[in-house]
Structure formats: structure tokens, C-alpha cells
Amino acid sequence: MKRYFFYSITLGFAWCFVHGVINLNNFLIGMLLGPIIIRPFKTFYNFDEQLSYTNTIRRIPKQIKFLSILLIEIIKASVFVAKIILRPNLDLKPGIIAVPIRAKTDAGITAIANTITLTPGTLTIDVSDDKSTLYVHAIDLSDPKAVSESIRDDLEEYVLEAFE
């Protein structure tokens, strides 16, 4: 029940944004329509797990910080790939490596997979069945150790803070 309420609030805001006019009326319509949208997708979420409001709200500032870091990383990534594309002689060393991750929850794994895709030169292809390893395609793999270390040390710290 708590989860229905919380997701409904989120969907209410989403409805406001999609509609383009943010006011109380639109928010309430979105919130009332929320449960109809949530019901068919219930199996994807872990509804048995207890959800506490304080914990969820406490993490919001960290998630905003994470989003701002993500934006900066995306700009860097685009410039990085743009430079490769504009090189007259494409001298690539691509490859797929396995990167062990520490995140345990589904939200954390999704967040880190998306972050890897949006950061310089790396693209998540799949997650292993036991959810402990990500398979990452890197466009420039002249130093595989450095790639997996930069994922573990730089990105994963923020993801763990924001979503675990």
C-alpha cells in the first residue's frame, strides 16, 4: 500500500510534466491514474519489501548530486567519442570485458549499468545471471585494468551512495 502511494506521487509529478502545466488539478489526476498504471507492472517490483519514507526522502539530495555528476560525465563522453570519430585514422582497440560490481539491489544495478553506458568509451551489454558481473564493451581497450578500475572507483561510489 505504501508503495502504491509513493509511486502514485511520482507518477503524479510525471503527469504534470508531460501535460506541460504544473498545478494541483493535474497532479491529482495523475495521482489517481497512477494505481492503474502500476498494477500491470507490479511483478517487476519487489512489493513485499518494506519501504520507509524517511529513507527514501533522505536519499534525494544524493540522487540529485549523482544526476549532476552524470550530466558532466555525459558531456565528457560525447567529446571523447566525437574526437575518436573525427580522427582521420580510426585506430581502435575495442573489446568486451567482465567488470565485477558491488551493487546488490536492482535499482543500484540499473543505475550503474545506465551510468556506464553514458560515460566515456564504455557500453553495458549484459548483466550476469547472479547479478555480480557486468559485461562492458569499451571502444578503446588498450588498458583493460584501468577501464574496470575507473568504473569501480569513480562511478560506483556515487551509485552506492545514491541507490543502496
Partner 1 sequence: MGSILDILSNIFLMIGIFFVFLGMLGLLRLPDIFNRLHATTKIGTIGAFGVMIAIVLKVGFTPMGIKAITVGLFLLLTAPVAAHMIARAAHRHGVGLCKESIIDEYGKTYK
Per the CB < 8 A criterion, the answer to whether 111 and 162 are in contact is yes
Choices 3-11, 34-42, 51-59, 135-143; region in contact with partner 1 by CB under 8 A? 135-143
Q: List, in sequence order, every residue forming a beta bridge with 124; answer none if it has no partner.
A: 136
Cα-based angle 112, 3, 54 (whole degrees, multiple of 5)? 75
Q: Is residue 78 a contact residue for partner 1 (CB under 8 A)?
A: yes
Binding piece for partner 1, criterion CB under 8 A, among 3-11, 34-42, 52-60, 121-129: 121-129
131: left (phi over 0), alpha (psi -120 to 50) or beta: left
Is 51 or 92 the residue whose CB approaches partner 1 more closely?
92
CA distance 70 to 141: 22
Minimum Å distance from CB 125 to partner 1? 4
- 96 touches partner 1 by CB under 8 A: yes
Query: Could you tell me which of 153, 113, 114 has the C-alpha nearest to residue 134?
Result: 113
Task: Kindly list the residues in this chain that would bind partner 1 in the complex (CB under 8 A).
Answer: 14, 17-22, 70, 74-75, 77-78, 81-82, 84-86, 90, 92-98, 113-114, 117-118, 121, 123-126, 128, 135, 137, 139, 141, 144
